[in-house]
Structure 1
């Protein structure tokens, strides 16, 4: 793998465009809202939520690069098969996650309305299950916006693609972390603890809605 020519304006434009595209792509609610909702349900600290964001962001970019590489290697004939199938798996996982939280909110004994604000319900799934579930959601949903950039850059060589992948990862994780942090801060300011009795139902409906958003985007 020969090193890329860093003096080429085209390469810098490619890397800058890849970073901007990845950062803006991370602004989609599907890239940060599940981390806010699940992190809140699991009573995660900000550091733990951002750890999940980083792992899921890396998995998201890895699946994007794998799909892009397969399409480049096998030709555009695989585009509709591979790139179109994985988001459905991601949506199915979100449906399952959301349905689980929704059912648990129905069968669980609710918090008494007169109870103190700190009497919040305990997490309904294990932390490991929630963590790897979020990672799987992102891994099964490659960035369709980033795929054209990756595939159009194949002629620049593998070294340039490696740098582009790095820009994708930095932009995606940075964007997901920023929007997750801002959303968590907003929820804290609004003092949403008063809605704790209904949090399981809200979480379930929200995750199912995100899954529907992914499905709708495929049409």
Structure 2
């Protein structure tokens, strides 16, 4: 039975999931830029976005469940989530810097994507299919949903385990759908914008984007 309190929590989960995503450009800008610069299809863009989104919400849900089961104080959970947020921010910066350095170096030396001088794992084909999506996934797994545990999961624990599951799933669906609702239209629009030889600068563009996201998180608190 869904109590009035649980109804409020579920409504709040939807609202927070949407607002949490929309107010965090790091939830969608990297996917749009990477999709455009590396020529991803909308299908691949959707898959990568969902994969990263699932990693993003699942990590916080797991931490929240562990905290509830073992009676960990909310302040300790919030501290842990804060630390994870810093890790995610620095991962944005480090991975972005690597993309930027590699992109600039490749342009300076006039190396083409498939030249034999590049290690196999750094060729464009392998980078597009493996390195780029997984680098984003790594960042999003460490990226916390700061509001999920204190505002939804711990209050739901006063109801029952079903309430915890319901608010977690509701928040997750709201977050994932909002990510897709922003990423896909923007990605579709960027297809219409001509960028000549954008693939030559793909790593530079991705690097600048990830660096900007990381700086915004670490130094601006976004």
Q: Give the Cα separation in 1 of the matches to 2:125 and 2:25.
A: 23
Q: Give the Cα separation in 2 of the matches to 1:78 and 1:71.
A: 9
Q: Give the Cα separation in 2 of the matches to 1:80 and 1:58.
A: 20
1:69 Cα offset (Å): 2.9
Q: CA contact under 8 A between 1:42 and 1:123: conserved in structure 2?
A: no
Q: Give the Cα separation in 1 of the matches to 2:149 and 2:78.
A: 12
1:197 Cα offset (Å): 4.6
Q: Give the Cα separation in 1 of the matches to 2:210 and 2:126.
A: 15
Instruction: Please provide the CA RMSD for this pair.
Output: 2.4
Q: CA contact under 8 A between 1:67 and 1:82: conserved in structure 2?
A: no
What is the aligned length?
A: 205
Matched, 1:82 2:80: yes
Q: Give the Cα separation in 1 of the matches to 2:192 and 2:49.
A: 22
Matched, 1:161 2:164: yes
Shifted more, 194-203 versus 141-150: the winner is 194-203
2:105 paired residue among 101, 107, 113: 107
Cα pair distance change 1:218/1:93, threshold 3 Å: same
Cα pair distance change 1:217/1:148, threshold 3 Å: farther
**Structure 1 residues not aligned, in runs of 5+:** 113-120
The TM-score, its normalising length taken from structure 1, stands at 0.82
Q: Secondary structure at the match of 2:9?
A: helix
1:206 Cα offset (Å): 1.4
- In the other structure, the counterpart of 1:34 is 30
1:124 Cα offset (Å): 7.4
- In the other structure, the counterpart of 1:125 is 127
- In the other structure, the counterpart of 1:205 is 208
- In the other structure, the counterpart of 1:58 is 54
Q: Give the Cα separation in 2 of the matches to 1:217 and 1:71.
A: 29
